[in-house]
Amino acid sequence: MIDSAKIELRNLRAKDYEELKVSMIKSYNSMPNEYWSKGEIKTLINKFPEGQLCIVIDNKIAGCALSIIVDYDKFDDNHTYDSIIGGENFSTHTKNGNVLYGIDVFIHPEYRGMRLGRRLYEARKELCEHLNLKAIVFGGRIPNYSKYAEELTPKKYIEKVKLQEIHDPVLSFQLSNDFHVKKVIKGYLSGDHESKEYATLMEWNNIYYTKPQKLVNTTKTVVRLGLVQWQMRLFKDYEALVSQIEFFVDAVSNYQSDFILFPELFNAPLMAEFNHLSEPEAIRELSGYTDRLLETFREFAINYNINIITGSMPQAIGEHMYNVGFLCRRDGSYERYEKLHITPAEETAWGMKGGNKLETFDTDCGKIGVLICYDVEFPEVGRILAEEGMNILFVPFMTDTQNGYSRVKICAQARAVENECYVAIAGSVGNLPKVDNMDIQYAQSAVLTPSDFAFPVNGIKAEATPNTESTLLVDVDLDLLKELHNFGSVRNKKDRRKDLYSLKKKK
């Protein structure tokens, strides 16, 4: 479990060396003396600072990826490690090269299992695209080959790893991250007895070769949204609910989504065991799971490298009950949001109170806002968030009938038009016969847009099949919003008559 840990992906600095050395020694326990010297690291940083990436957790170097740029046309595929890196001065590095060559990747043993290696590889890919290089290439060790060398050739060994009949901690990971084996090299790394000095020449091709992309840690312009249309069902226990959550997070993250959105009160099935209690007592018991779910979502956000909007769940604060949710960023940080407007049913059945927190949140994809269900039916709230720079509004909702759903969707579409933003809505479907006040659900999750030439004519970018458990994956282009603000057929944000009226958030 994580407490206050924050994940930071950044470029390596010379002053990181002592912490880096500790991490290298721990990572290479089978080769305790094989670590980079301070001078070598300093040379790498001076020559190619963008290519030296690290992940920092609580001021500790948890992982690192080092690379250089080479003119690969000058090398044969049968090169050795020493020849292609150019010695301790990295003389083969050239800014005019055409390939990003990986010279090292490692993860501190304490932080393995958090998918940090995948994050470093993704950062390398972004760097390759940004620098308009043809490919990423490196020689990959096959440390488990020594166990099979007497019975398998390197080629047969690689085939069995590809078929998942054999697991190799290095090759299996590289294959799962979209690298392919270009060839097998003999005598690549001197002294690598575990691999019998064989290596796989791995390659990832940059399909955007003619279109430079942005560096790591810059705001994206095309953002991928993943929406969960959640099936309300009875779960055996809390662990079964978490397993279903992880299924969706895993599935959506495999499509490199930047966000995943869950519905309002998606954890209501856990109230089944409290159905013998009154409705206010049952919802208070359900709130006992909220802190555990927050920690679970934070772990999933880090492990699956995705920003999670957790929908909502009840939270008891003193005598009062609130409907709240969390933005769990993929760097480990999180924010809390509250439902501001409580429906009559929530107030009478559960004794819910409206929250007082209204703000936008910064993410690695720009500013976002979150309004829970009924809140989106109040235009003032969305307008305030838009004034604070929100580009994407997320609306987790829960509606029992088609009437209720129509209110949410129609109002969400209005928010998209009047605030010139994208609005993503996600709800639950199905039935909960053993949970009072949660019997039936109706939803059709969707991503809604402004209505102008650059957007769909009906203002709907995509929508799920109604009343069926599913996911929706949608790309939204933030640059289209900038164009709309300045050159749209109508400009709702610019054309407001501030000389006649104004809207202000109370402190």
How high is the pLDDT of residue 474? 97
- Which pLDDT band holds residue 1 (cuts at 50, 70, 90)? very low
pLDDT value for 212: 42
Asked if residue 114 has pLDDT above 80, the reply is yes
Q: pLDDT class for 27, splitting at 50, 70, 90?
A: confident
pLDDT at 293 over 60: yes
Residues found in the chain: 507
Q: Give the list of residues 6+ apart from residue 482 with CB closer than 8 angstroms, or none.
A: none
pLDDT above 80 for 477: yes
Q: At what angle do helices 17-27 and 38-47 cross, to 10 degrees?
A: 110
Q: Is the pLDDT of residue 2 over 60?
A: no
pLDDT digits (tens, 9 = 90+) for 54-83: 999 988 999 999 999 999 988 888 899 999
Q: What is the pLDDT of residue 482?
A: 86
- Burial of residue 499, with CB atoms counted within 10 A of its CB: 0-12 exposed, 13-18 middle, 19 or more buried: exposed
HEC letters along 295-337: HHHHHHHHHCCCEEECCCEEEEECCEEEEEEEEECCCCCEEEE
pLDDT of res. 58? 87
What is the pLDDT confidence band of residue 198, given thresholds at 50, 70 and 90? very high
Query: 69, 97 in Cβ contact below 8 A?
Result: yes
Catalytic residue chosen out of the listed positions 365, 373, 411, 421: 373
Tell me what the mean pLDDT of segment 147-174 comes to: 94
Could you tell me the pLDDT band of residue 87, with boundaries at 50, 70 and 90?
A: confident
Over range 97-120, report the average pLDDT.
93
Grade residue 435 by pLDDT with cuts at 50, 70 and 90. Answer: confident
For residue 31, the model assigns a pLDDT of 61
Distances (CA, A) of 119 to 253, 256, 303: 12, 11, 9
Given this model, what pLDDT does residue 54 score?
Answer: 96
Q: What is the pLDDT of residue 208?
A: 84
Segment 307-333 shows an average pLDDT of 96
- Per DSSP, which regions of 111-176 are E strands? 135-140
CA dist., res. 332 & res. 26, Å (int): 23
Average pLDDT over residues 270-284: 90
Three-state DSSP class for residue 274:
helix
pTM of the model: 0.77
Which stretch of 35-44, 172-181, 478-487 has the lowest confidence by average pLDDT?
A: 478-487
Digit-coded pLDDT (tens) for 210-237? 744 555 666 678 999 999 999 999 899 9
Q: What domains sit in the chain, N to C, each tagged with a CATH number?
A: 7-205 (3.40.630.30), 222-487 (3.60.110.10)
Of 125, 339, 367, 409, which is the active-site residue?
339
Q: Across residues 306-310, what is the average pLDDT?
A: 98
Where residue 320 falls among pLDDT bands split at 50, 70, 90? very high
Q: Contact at 8 Å (CB) between 111 and 126?
A: no
Q: Of 108, 112, 109, 92, which is closest to residue 51 (Cα–Cα)?
A: 92
Instruction: Provide the pLDDT for residue 211.
Output: 43
The one catalytic residue in 129, 203, 264, 420 is 264
Q: Identify whether 156 is a catalytic site residue.
A: no
pLDDT, averaged across the chain: 92
Q: What is the pLDDT of residue 506?
A: 80
Token pair for residue 145? 């080959």
Q: What percent of the chain has pLDDT over 90?
A: 80
Active-site residue flag, 339: yes
User: What integer is the mean pLDDT of 312-316?
Assistant: 97
pLDDT at residue 32 is higher than 80 = no
**Residue 288's pLDDT is what?**
96
CB 369 within 8 A of CB 390: yes
For 386, 461, 474, the CA distances from 357, given in Å and listed in that order, are 16, 29, 28
- Cβ atoms of 419 and 390 within 8 Å: the answer is yes
pLDDT in tens, 332-384: 999 999 999 999 999 999 999 999 999 999 999 999 999 999 999 999 999 99
320-328 and 352-353 strand pairing: parallel
Tell me the CA end-to-end span of the chain in Å, nearest whole number: 35
Give the Cα separation of 397 and 462 in Å (integer).
17
